[in-house]
Every structure is written in structure tokens, then in C-alpha cells.
Structure 1
Amino acid sequence: MFNLIDFVGSISNWMWGPPMLMLVVGGGIFLTIRLGFFQILYYPYILKQTFGTIFKKHTGQGTVSPFQAATTALASTIGASNIVGVPIAIAFGGPGAVFWMWIVSLIGCATKFSEIVLGIKYRELNEDGQYVGGPMYYLSAGISSKAIGETLAIIYAFFTMIILAASVAAQSVSATQTVAVMGVSKITTGIILTILVSVIVYGGITRIASVSSKLVPFMASIYVLGALIVVLCNITTVPSVFALIFTSAFTPSAAVSGVAGSGLTAAMRWGIARGTYSCEAGMGTAPVAHSAATTDHPVRQGFWGIFEITVSSLIICTMSALVVLTTGIWSQVDPSVAASMPTLAFQSVMGDTLGGLLVSLSMLLFVISTIIVQVFYGEKQCEFFFGTKIAKILKIFYILAIFAGALGGLETVFGFLDVILGVTILPNMIGLILMSGQVVALKKEFFSSSKYYLKDIRHH
């Protein structure tokens, strides 16, 4: 068994090296060029259409509001890795990894935008009268070759259905470990989590979206405000930290203190990987949530994908980076325990109790929100294969995965997560590239129409 685990680990390391990064980042660059770098040129306008319209009523057809759809997707995107993943990237890639994380996040905007646009274009009304969509729908209906499209859709939905069950269990493990320091047993944590998530997810997308629209802003605000306090208490180091990020991104240098690797190659490798994971562009999960949104045009909802990346990667991940860099913790902790950096950084300013509690609370909320939405995503993959009635029954397996994860003993299963994730990304990225012309056409339609973009400009 240990040989099998080692073998799977070696496949995972190879897959998530150059092959997967070339596919995801290369695909993102291709889409960015085809879309005319719109995520940069129209960024101020996109912010107005997302952050600036959160409390406005939206026209069009849909099941939930655009903001609720975005926060539902964000609930899955923002996870414990937003807190501990960035310090790990810095530990092994040096401060320059942060710069490359920003770059790949900007590139990922084109990918996530394309996913959501196609998700809206090819969404369907299910038996319950709710809008559903995602890669499994746009792959099967949007590719000119029906055989290729349906094959890609089946591969995506089948392996996503599997990986979400394992991912739910993995998130449950994180929640159990987070509250274990408070003396709460695994069984108690598992029972509470299972009941809490069940009550929410069995209310359907409307209840999930309602909870997410309140939980996500709350949990993000707690963490970002706490991080701001830490950074402000070390404000004098901020200019030198930004200078270090930019110089380390382009200048090969020897490892600094406990940092395992701060050369140019290491900075790019870890920064690109962190950016890819944090924005989830190419994974295809976001359009599953966005397909339920009320919107008058696919492109307008696509803007909310850029909103997500702004919040998850460019705000939360950046704050995690600044916390460990401005306090100097990044150069004092051994890379093998890099996940402890955020807690140590918060404790250096707020004290052991308050600092540790704030990080633990943030991680717990991030994990719970992720579990809720991943159970919903799993149900939608089942629905694609079996319909709504059977999908509601199969949802129980995702609920049981929460309890199984809390009890532990699934470490062997978790070893397959990255490999299966790679298998799900492949058909989605192929589909996005094949259907990129459709995204370009919809983008041109939106930005040249007096009904959409030109009307917005005149209004402002």
C-alpha cells in the first residue's frame, strides 16, 4: 500500500508540475489574448458592475441574485489554503512567489470569465424549475462534435462527482484539527458539522446562496481586518516588503534564512501553483453556482468571476502574504512547518490567545463554507447523470463523507485528490479552448451593444 501511495504521489507531483501548469496557465494566456486583455482594460468597469451593484436589483432570468451566486462560488474558493497556502509558497519559493501569484490570478480571470459565460449560455431548467449548468452542460451542448463534447462532459462530471466526495472529507479533517485544540472530540465535531451542513444543503440553492451571501462577507471581513491590524502594526516594513516581492520575482538569489528556495525558478513555480489553486480558474466548479444567477447577459455574470478572483487571490491571499512578510516570520520559521506562519504572525501582534483564536476561527469558517458548497456541487454532478430525484438521494453520500472525514483514517484516499483533480481540469480546459470563439462573440456583443455596456457608460 505504501508503494502505491508513493507511486500516486510521484504521478501527482509530475502532473502538477509543468504539464498542468502549462495547461491551466497556457490556456489562460490563450484566452486572455483572444479576449483582448479585457480583464485589465475594463477592470475599473468590471469592479463597478460587481462591487458597485451588490445591493441593486438585477433584471433577467435566474434563481438567485448575481451576488448570491458569486458568494456561493466564493464559499468554495475561499478555504483554509488561502491562509496557510500562501506562506507555504513563500517558504519554498521566496517572497517573489507572491508576484507570480498575482500574475497568474490576472491571467486566470479570462479562464473563469469564460467558464461562467458558457455556463450561463448553456444552462437549463431542471425538473424543479431551477437553473442548472456547468462544464458538464456546456461541454455536451457547446462543442460542434457531439461525440467529443459528450465524452468530455461525462469524464468531467464523473470524476468531479468522485473528487468532491473525497474533498468534502478532507475539508472535514481540517475542521476537526482546527477545533481539536479546544478539546472537542472528533465524533462531536463530525456530528455537529453533519447536522449543520445537512440543514443548509437540503434547502437547495436558494438556502445555500442565502447563507453564503451572509457568511462569506462576514468570514472574509474578520480575517482581512485582523490581517490589516497586523500589517498596520508593522507599517514601516511595508515599502521594503513590496520591494522584496518585486526584486525576488525576477532576481535569482540564494535562500534566505529558513526559506527553502528563493531562486527565480522556485518563485515562479510556487507562485504560479498558488495562484492557480487560489482562483480555481479552469476547475469548472464556479459556473455550477453562477448558472443559477439572475442576469440579463452571460458576460455580465462573467464579471463576477473576476470579482471572485479579486476577493480570493488579490485580497485575501495578498493579506496572508503581507502578514508573514511584514512581521518577518517568513524568515524565522522552518519550511517544514510553514503552515504555522500565519498563527505566529497574528500572535506576534495580538498575543497568543487572541491571535491564535482569530486564525482558528477564520480557518473553521472557511472550511465550513467550502463543505456546504462542495456538497451542492456534488449533487449537481449526480443530477447531470441521474436527474433531480436520484441526485437528492445520492446527496446523502456527500453528507456521510463529512462524518467519515471527521473520524479520520482516510489519508490514503486523500493521496488521490490531486491526480483526480487533474483529470477533471483536462476536459474543461480543452472545452474552453474549443469554445473560446463563442466567448469572444458574446463579449463583442455585450461591449458593442447600446442595451448593455454603452447604456452603462451613459448612465455613469
Structure 2
Amino acid sequence: MNPLLETVQTVLQTIDNLIWGPPLLILLVGTGLYLTLRLGFIQIRHLPLALSYVFTRDKSKQSSGKGDVSSFAALCTALSATIGTGNIVGVATAIKMGGPGALFWMWLAALFGMATKYAECLLAVKYREQDENGQMLGGPMYYLEKGVGSKWLAKLFALFTLGVACFGIGTFPQVNAIVDAAYLSFEVPREYAVVLLTLLVATVTLGGIKSIANVASKVVPVMAGFYILACITVLATNASALPAAVNLVISSAFTGHAATGGFVGAGIMLAIQSGIARGVFSNESGLGSAPMAAAAAQTDSCVRQGLTSMTGTFFDTIIICTMTGLTLVVTGAWQSDYAGAAMTTFAFASGLDSSYWGPLMVSVGLMFFAFTTILGWNYYGERCITYLFGVKAIKPYKFLFLVLIAGGAFLKLDMIWLIADIVNGLMAIPNLIGLVLLREVVVSESKLYFAQMKEEVSAREDSEGQLA
């Protein structure tokens, strides 16, 4: 490597380690902890209510509110971007680095992250507006500008997010995951796979949020259900080892874990850091991405949408990442010499006692997860380009995005991945500033909503009592 490029890469690696180090992780978890306390553990007390909003759609509530897509479709659009390679590769990486205890810290990060996701999606709906095409615009850009009163922070967030959409999570890693999986499992040449992928992305994304949400609301539940069923099959096959696996996850979270097999050993701090970092990377709570999808929801209440959106972190980390983590532990794959997707593949192969079906499940899961992540981040980039340059920039952006998808399979530039990781972390900083400064808005809106709900319940009970 050229000495200059090597120096630049070393500097970028140092910046990346600093951004994704303890300060940002403490800020992310700290914000979630603060909101959890101020909101009275809303993610626990009102999780049943939030899940009821997801699975029982109230059409009267949606028809009375502005928005482009249903509340459920908005949630699926957000989930399409978060349920991705992180659920397969990220969990394996966390456990490889921090041991089984990392899974416990992923749970903790997700618990506090649910409060963060609730707050940012509530604010997205409260401060949203319409663009020239009649579509809803919302997200950190708008609550930073209209709520906090800081245009430069709003533009900074939009710029960072656009970078992630075009050069990070939204394109290159996902394209490579898809074409590699297609070649390894089905022997599809990379050139054919990338042409088909580009055409599929163009077909869906050129139709805008309604097209993306329509696909996401159909693919995401099926995709997640398929993967969870595969994990349950492995766990059921190894049911006798499950209690010991759960005990190992909890105990090693506070004691660390000595080296065994291909595992290099990890202390408590490494388990905490790897678990929290990968958990946040997977569910994106606090990064500010999901609020852009939440803002498009047809709803008459910002609190209702906040509750619906916070279930995304529950589904992504508490359920899907847990399934992956326990599968890795019960099969002993975490002690193997494998890492990343190869470790998860090995876990399914050994758990199902099949050298064909196990790897096939991981490959199919990776392809669907990566494809929907592309769709979700395409929309996030579109919202940011609209904020920065107006609706006239949407078509050029979509053309550029498709060019990046087509070329992404043939790029092996480590420095681009490094820059993308840095920009991804930088997204969180202006968003978290906005959440802290607008915390009283979140609290007051929440109190008002639940007070009104209590009054409605009391009035209904009185009316039923009179009728009786």
C-alpha cells in the first residue's frame, strides 16, 4: 500500500475507534437510561399497548391523521433497514469478541434503546411537514431545525445520513453480501446477480415511499418469521443445552469468559463494549434513521407512532438477535475458529445436522435482510437529499444510488468502509443532542396522551355502567 494511503487509513481507523468507543456508547445508552427514567419505564409498562398497535390496526386512527403509508408499513420500512446483516454477522462478531456475555449487554442496550426509539419517532411525527409533492418529511433534520432551532445541526445530520445511505450501510456491504451469498449457495455469477439486484432495487425504489413500504410490509414479516423459525428449529433440536446456554450468557456478562476452543477469551469490559456496540449497530436506536420512516405514518398521534416504532428495537434485538445468539451458544459455534457469517453458517449446519440446509438458511436470510436494508436506506437518503436540496434532487439521487448498487459488487475498498463506519457513528451525535434538548417535549406529550387515554377509559366504563 502507498505510504500516504496507509497513513490516512491509520488515522481513519483511530477516528473510527474513537467515535465508536466508550464516549459514544455511554452517550447512546445514557440517553436511553435518562429517557427510561423520565418516562417511567415506558418500554416495559406500555409494551403490551405498543404491540397491540402493531398487530391490531385501527383504521379510524389512521384515516384521521396525515401521512403517506399506514403506521404498520412505516414500522416495516424502518425494520427493513435495521433487520439486516447485523442480526447475523453482528451478533456473531459480538460474541466472538466479548463471549456469550455480550448477548446480555445487547439486551440491556435494546431495553434502553426502546425508550430512545420511542422519543425520536415521537418527535419525528410532531415536527413533520409536507414537501412539494405532498409527501411527509420528518426526522432529526426537522426536529433539530424546528424544535431545537439549529439549522446547522440539522444539515450536519442530513449530510452524514446521506453519506451512510450512498457509501455505507445502504449500498456496498449489502450488495456484496447478496452477490456473495448468491454465488456460494446457488452458483449465480456475480455479474448476473448484480444486474438482477439493480433491476429489483430500481423497480421498488422508483415508486417512492408507498412502493418501498408496500414491499417492506410484505417481505419483512415473512423474512423475519422464516429466520426465527430456522433458529427455533435449531434451539428445539438442542433443547437440553438451552438452560445452560442462558445461564452462560448471564454469568459471563459479569465475570468475563476464559479462552476455550477457537475463542480468544474476553473480560467484562470487552463483553460490555462489543455487546452494546453491536446491539446499537443492529437496532439503530439513537442514530436517527427510523424517525424518517416514522414521519411518513398515517396517524393522528405522535405518541401512538412512538409506541409503535419502539417495538422495532424489541423485534430486532430482543427477539431476532437473541435467536441468533442462543443458536451460536447452544451449538458451540462461538468456540469455533469461524467468525461473522461463517460462524452463524457453522451453527446452523451443526444445529440442523445438515451441510446443505443450514448454510442455505443463512444465505437466504442474508440476501433478504440485505435487500430490504438497501430499500430502507434508499428512502432515508431520499429524505435527506430532499431536505438539503429540495424535491428536484430526488431523481438525480435515485439514479446515483442505482449506479452505486451496480458498481458496489466490484469494489473492495477498505477505506470506503472505514469512512462509512465513521459517518454512521457521527449520525448519532446531532440526533442525541436533539433528544436531550427536546426531552421535556417528549415527556409532556407522553403525559398528555396517557392522561387522555385514562379519561377515555373512565368515560367508557361509566357509560357501560349506566347502560348496565
Report the TM range for the smaller structure's normalisation.
over 0.9
Residue in 2 that maps onto 1:399: 402
Equivalent residue, structure 2, for 1:38: 42
> What is the CA-CA distance between 1:87 and the residue it aligns to?
1.6
* Residue in 2 that maps onto 1:327: 331
User: Matched residue pairs, number?
Assistant: 454
| Contact 1:96–1:262 (CA under 8 A) maintained in structure 2 | no
1:128 aligns with 2:163: no
Give the drift of 1:417: 1.3
Residue of structure 2 in register with 1:369 after alignment: 372
Q: Is 1:68 the counterpart of 2:73 in the alignment?
A: yes
Q: Corresponding residue for 2:89?
A: 84
**Pair 1:174 & 2:177 matched:** yes
2:322 is the counterpart of 1:318: yes
Which residue identity is paired with 2:447? K
Structure 1 pair 273/55, CA: closer, same or farther in 2 (3 Å)? farther
Q: Which 10-residue stretch deviates more, 152-161 or 409-418?
A: 409-418
Q: Contact 2:88–2:340 (CA<8 Å) still a contact in 1?
A: no
Q: CA deviation at 1:156?
A: 0.5
Letter in 1 for 2:11: F
Which of 2, 5, 16 aligns to 2:6? It is 2
- Does 2:22 correspond to 1:21? no
Distance 1:244 1:270 in 2: 17
Cα separation, 2, equivalents of 1:439 and 1:457: 27
2:274 to 270, 275, 281: 270
Q: Is the 8 A contact 1:123 1:291 kept in 2?
A: yes
For residue 427 of structure 1, what is the aligned residue in structure 2? 430
Structure 1 counterpart of 2:439:
436
Is the alpha carbon distance of 1:183 and 1:245 closer, same or farther for their aligned partners in structure 2, counting shifts above 3 Å?
same
**Partners in 2 of 1:269 and 1:413 — Cα distance?**
24
Q: Return the alpha-carbon distance in structure 2 between the equivalents of residues 367 and 142 of structure 1.
A: 34
Within 2, Cα distance between the matches of 1:213 and 1:2?
44
Q: 1:130 to 1:117 in 2, by over 3 A?
A: same
Contact 1:31–1:111 (CA<8 Å) still a contact in 2? yes
Match of 2:154 in 1: 153
Cα distance change on mapping 1:289 and 1:338 into 2, 3 Å:
closer
**Is 1:109 matched with 2:114?**
yes
CA root-mean-square deviation: 2.1
User: Aligned-pair distance for 1:453?
Assistant: 7.2
2:346 is aligned to 344
TM-score scaled by structure 1? 0.94
Cα offsets for 1:117-136 (capped at 9, x unmatched) = 00000111111112121111
Which residues of structure 1 form unaligned runs of 5+? none
Cα distance in structure 1, aligned partners of 2:346 and 2:239: 18
Q: Which amino acid aligns with 1:340?
A: A
Aligned counterpart, 1:208: 212
Report the counterpart of residue 353 of structure 1 in structure 2. 356
2:68 aligned counterpart, secondary structure: coil
Deviation sequence 1:63-108 (CA, Å, 0-9, x none): 1111000000000001012012112111111111111110110100
Corresponding residue for residue 194 of structure 1:
198
Matches of 2:10 and 2:407 in 1, distance apart?
A: 24
Q: Which runs of 5+ in 2 are unaligned?
A: none
Following superposition, the deviation at residue 205 of structure 1 comes to 0.8
- Structure 1, residues 248-271: CA drift from partner, whole Å, max 9, x if none? 111244233322233221211111
**In the TM superposition, what is the alpha-carbon distance from 1:230 to its structure 2 partner?**
0.5
Give the % identical residues: 40
Conserved in 2, the CA contact under 8 Å of 1:448 and 1:454? Answer: no
Tell me, in whole angstroms, the C-alpha distance in 2 between the residues paired with 1:455 and 1:52.
22
CA distance in 2, matches of 1:347, 1:457: 55
Q: TM-score, normalised by structure 2?
A: 0.93
Q: Secondary structure at the match of 1:179?
A: helix
In 2, the alpha carbon distance for the partners of 1:56 and 1:248 equals 49
- Would you say the 8 A contact 2:163–2:420 is kept in 1? no
The residue matched to 1:58 in structure 2 has which SS? helix
* Change beyond 3 A, Cα 1:280–1:442: same
Q: Is the 8 A contact 1:95 1:248 kept in 2?
A: yes
**1:163 alignment partner AA:** V
Q: Provide the C-alpha distance between the structure 1 equivalents of 2:156 and 2:67, rounded to a whole number of angstroms.
A: 27
Counterpart of 2:144 in structure 1 is: 139
Q: Which amino acid aligns with 2:341?
A: A
What SS does the corresponding residue of 1:259 show, helix, strand or coil? coil
Q: How far does residue 451 in structure 1 lie from its aligned partner after superposition?
A: 8.0
Structure 1 equivalent of residue 233 of structure 2: 229
